[in-house]
Structure 1
Amino acid sequence: MKNVIIENTKGFKETKLGWIPEDWDIIKLEDIGHTVIGLTYNPQMVSEEGMLVLRSSNVQDRALKFEDNVYVDVNENKFNKTKTGDILICVRNGSRNLIGKNAIIDEASAGTAFGAFMLVFRSSDYKFLYQLFDTAYYGREIHRNLGATINSINTKNLKQFRFPFPKKKERMLISTCLSTWDTALTNLNSLIKAKQKLKKGLMQQLLSGKKRLPGFEQEWETWSFEELFKKVSRPVNWNDEETYDLISVRRRSGGLFHRDSLKGSQILTKKLYIAKKGDFLISKMQILHGASGLVNDKFDGMKISGSYIAVVPKNDTLLNMKFMEWYSKTPKFYHQTFRSSYGVHIEKMTFNYKLFEKEEIILPPLKEQNAITKVLNTSDKEIELLTNQRNQLQLQKKD
């Protein structure tokens, strides 16, 4: 439901919710259905078997996922269960962003119970409502009515949710049209997840040598990072009037990002370093959370703080740094950085580069490194293209 400017008001009427077609009504949610409350249970009731209870974690991408299930040992006949066409809504959660997220109950999931922080809205107009609950208007209204201290939707306020309501024939046409996008989005999401799983498998096999690409038979060799890397440091000649583009590295191998552009006079610590294309950056404070990455053309010449270590190959004929970037995303590299750190708690552990230099990596010849990198880059590009396609479809649907 986007706010639009109506240049010609013929056939429209003005309401408190804006201009709507003349034959549409403004109704409340409680006018076309009712809510059903969920099951309250305590940890002692959780068992390995028993009755499945749906929670907010089961609602992902506006669909039900059965990956993190909870079963409760109770008399099933004492509690409300879902029916086909019910819309399951998260009404309470520690994260405000998860409040209001929803999924529709199909025939396969009907008959399940749901937790106290969830509720079901039951209506014969569930197909239209399911599309309504995917609009920015619904999201704004839900969050406008959240409690000040507790992230929850007041059920009474939810019932009072007001929205434009077309005639039955038009509701059916709108629902059918929008469900076409839903089908395409569901198929794309499935394809993206399949590609991500394939990429993960390729990384595990190709980067460890368990699977070899055709035409490569030469033995892999073991090298220490001390033999492969040399640290580089390019201090900035400070100027309070100059604007510095600052970069950081995301956790979980999320890559580099432009953090800020600040004048020298705005920066408290007057110690920055120049990052160059091909530098591999390691965050001293966040490496245990996967904060490392390769500087590419986009970030060439930008500045890093002293909390980063920058390394380059000692010998370009031994190591392709793009191969190293892929290796840095593996559980093995995460474990090596953990072993190279010390401290009593993961959030306070300190990375020791001297220890890290003693860690070893088994490398294929450079030509095979290049081939492996090309395969993984192609897989990554496929996922990126599919993700962009999905995002465009989502925008088309909202428009």
Structure 2
Amino acid sequence: MKDPNIPLSESEKNTPDGWAHLRIKEIGKITSGTTPLRSNSLYHSHGSIPWVKTTDLNNSVILETEEKVTEIALKETSLRVYPKETVLVAMYGGFNQIGRTGILGIEATINQALSAITVNKDEIDPIFLLNWFNAKVGLWKNLAGSSRKDPNITSKDVGDFPFIKPPLPEQKAIAQALGVVDEAIQKNDQLITQKELRKKWLMQNLLTGKKRLKGFGGEWRECSYEKLLKVVRRPVKWDENKLYKLVSVRRRSGGIFFREALYGHQIKVKGLRTTEVGDFLFSKMQIVHGASALVTKEFEEAMISGSYIATIAKDPKLLNMEFFNWYSKLPYFYHQTLISSYGVHIEKMTFDFDTFLQLEMMLPSHQEQTAITQVLQAADQEIQLLRAKVEKLREQKKWMMQQLLTGKKRLRL
């Protein structure tokens, strides 16, 4: 029978007979941990006992922790070791951390920012409970955001959190079905990591000539950037009533993105310029952090401010700008932009483009540049396809959680 004192969402009002509506405090014991005194090295130095913090939570099985504590800490503080299959929930540590979860795949201690829920496994499947929490992360954030100036939740909030309990065999079947999708996501994530490492290896070797593609030989030549790059300026004919699409460049070679579109009368500095496909943009203020990128079709005719330098190849037969874009992601290129900048603090350094132009890069033939670019683009596309696959799997799991955890869809047992 449904407990009338527990509010139900619309999707939960028609759950199957035999599914109980409870609170977390009715299905498990809720406790939390502590942080051994940081200044006491006997508690932390050369520790062997896993100690879980908010940042260790991965919404899945926890098999390792960033930090460990010592046996002395365990004896002299209120720390306790939790068994495997303890479910953890973050109560604070920043708004984006609230509601993050994990389930112990190892015995471990925890800090005070986490609630640990231990359950009777004859009644509750821990993996089912973990999936329940993951499906309800929005509720955690709503609770935290509406309760206090400094968003957080308490162990009481965790205890009062609603829970729908199917019979144990159905809990296990639902957890297993969701686990199949989790396993597929994990395998593809691992494959993405492998492909990313391979792409990094290809970049470091092909872009520097350490490895050559089949069919290419001959020496690479040293060319100054002054010989390779030409600055382009396409001033905008100003219109106070025109809506201008503005773009910026992310740090760490993160590419171009659209900023807020503004009308001319909303823009204080009227020195915008137009971009074209193939322009390579340098951020004067952020280049030391890797803020440079090639303009693609998506951003054609977007506007940049005077804080950007737009360049093209002086001789397209000498330099393939897509090759140059890949080259710009190398640590060596980052170093070149750093030594071409001035300022007392890295966050306030300014790019001296004239100094940069005097530096050099090693360049293969245009044909080899094109071939290298094609190899790297293929590697990158492979990664993007895998990421799209993972996103579809995540959407599939989200749909399954919405259906299975509320009894809208039933599994055959």
- Partner in structure 1 of residue 355 of structure 2: 355
- Partner in structure 1 of residue 405 of structure 2: none
Residues 1:307 and 1:265: Cα distance change in structure 2 (over 3 Å): same
Residues 1:343 and 1:58: Cα distance change in structure 2 (over 3 Å): same
**Alpha-carbon distance in 1 for matches of 2:309, 2:129:** 53
**Alpha-carbon distance in 2 for matches of 1:219, 1:398:** 54
Using the TM superposition, name which of 170-179 and 317-326 deviates more. 170-179
Deviation at 1:27, TM superposition (A): 0.7
Give, as a single letter, the amino acid of the residue that structure 1 aligns with 2:221.
E
Residues 1-399 of structure 1 aligned to structure 2 (within 5 Å): 16-18=8-10, 19-23=13-17, 24-44=19-39, 45=41, 46-60=44-58, 62-64=60-62, 66=64, 68-72=66-70, 74-77=72-75, 79-93=79-93, 95-106=94-105, 109=106, 111-123=107-119, 124=121, 125=124, 126-135=126-135, 137-145=136-144, 148-399=148-399
**Paired residues of 1:279 and 1:312 also in contact (CA < 8 A):** yes
**Paired residues of 2:320 and 2:370 also in contact (CA < 8 A):** yes
Using the TM superposition, name which of 381-390 and 265-274 deviates more. 265-274
Deviation at 1:76, TM superposition (A): 3.6
Deviation at 1:145, TM superposition (A): 3.0
Give, as a single letter, the amino acid of the residue that structure 2 aligns with 1:115.
N
**Paired residues of 2:144 and 2:151 also in contact (CA < 8 A):** no
**Paired residues of 2:63 and 2:104 also in contact (CA < 8 A):** no
Residues 1:54 and 1:366: Cα distance change in structure 2 (over 3 Å): same
Determine what percentage of the aligned residue pairs are the same residue.
37
- Look up the SS of the partner of 1:344 in the other structure: coil
Residues 1:58 and 1:390: Cα distance change in structure 2 (over 3 Å): same
**Paired residues of 1:52 and 1:72 also in contact (CA < 8 A):** no
Residues 1:55 and 1:341: Cα distance change in structure 2 (over 3 Å): same
Deviation at 1:58, TM superposition (A): 2.3
Cα offsets for 1:95-121 (capped at 9, x unmatched): 311122112112xx2x22222323321
Deviation at 1:321, TM superposition (A): 0.7
**Alpha-carbon distance in 2 for matches of 1:270, 1:195:** 44
Residues 1:36 and 1:218: Cα distance change in structure 2 (over 3 Å): same
- Look up the SS of the partner of 2:163 in the other structure: strand
- Look up the SS of the partner of 1:74 in the other structure: helix
Give, as a single letter, the amino acid of the residue that structure 2 aligns with 1:21.
T
- Look up the SS of the partner of 1:20 in the other structure: coil
**Paired residues of 1:199 and 1:379 also in contact (CA < 8 A):** yes
**Paired residues of 2:48 and 2:68 also in contact (CA < 8 A):** no
**Alpha-carbon distance in 2 for matches of 1:377, 1:294:** 14
Show structure 1 runs of 5+ residues with no match. Answer: 1-12
Cα offsets for 1:126-163 (capped at 9, x unmatched): 1211111211x333234413563444321111111013
Residues 1:145 and 1:253: Cα distance change in structure 2 (over 3 Å): same
- Partner in structure 2 of residue 4 of structure 1: none
Give, as a single letter, the amino acid of the residue that structure 1 aligns with 2:8.
K
**Paired residues of 1:280 and 1:293 also in contact (CA < 8 A):** yes
Deviation at 1:387, TM superposition (A): 0.5
**Alpha-carbon distance in 1 for matches of 2:299, 2:141:** 40
**Paired residues of 1:322 and 1:373 also in contact (CA < 8 A):** yes
Show structure 2 runs of 5+ residues with no match. Answer: 400-413
Residues 1:62 and 1:290: Cα distance change in structure 2 (over 3 Å): farther
Deviation at 1:226, TM superposition (A): 1.0
Residues 1:191 and 1:312: Cα distance change in structure 2 (over 3 Å): same
Cα offsets for 1:215-272 (capped at 9, x unmatched): 2121111111111111110100111222221111111111011213222222222221
Deviation at 1:51, TM superposition (A): 3.0
Deviation at 1:71, TM superposition (A): 4.2
Give, as a single letter, the amino acid of the residue that structure 2 aligns with 1:60.
N
Count the aligned residue pairs: 382
CA RMSD, Structure 1 to Structure 2 (Å): 2.1
Using the TM superposition, name which of 112-121 and 250-259 deviates more. 112-121
Deviation at 1:77, TM superposition (A): 4.8
Residues 1:76 and 1:175: Cα distance change in structure 2 (over 3 Å): same
Deviation at 1:326, TM superposition (A): 0.8
Deviation at 1:184, TM superposition (A): 0.9
Give, as a single letter, the amino acid of the residue that structure 2 aligns with 1:271.
G
**Alpha-carbon distance in 2 for matches of 1:65, 1:265:** 56
| TM-score of the superposed pair, with normalisation by structure 2 | 0.87
- Look up the SS of the partner of 2:261 in the other structure: strand
